[in-house]
Structure 1
């Protein structure tokens, strides 16, 4: 599995991430649609928070 990571202002990268392992009463689902948060562009462009960290929620 991969996730998108903010590395530094103006730079995002795909990085490998461990596959999720659901516990009792949990499930892994495939998304039907995705969208960005309004803050994603500002965080990626200006580095509001120090990286690296995965983006999206």
Structure 2
């Protein structure tokens, strides 16, 4: 049965860092894992930012 994990918090609180560390752990455990980012902006985060690395 599929499940969804949501991560939310204040700006610069470590949400993206947590997701970047969590995804490999889930995949190593044999789970299919993906990252979905919701943003109010029309353009994805630039390269060099934490969110940009996940884009």
TM-score normalised to structure 2 length? 0.21
For CA contacts below 8 A with separation 6 or more, give which structure has more relative contact order.
1
| Larger Rg belongs to | 1
TM-score normalised to structure 1 length? 0.21
Compare the two structures and name the one with the higher strand fraction.
1
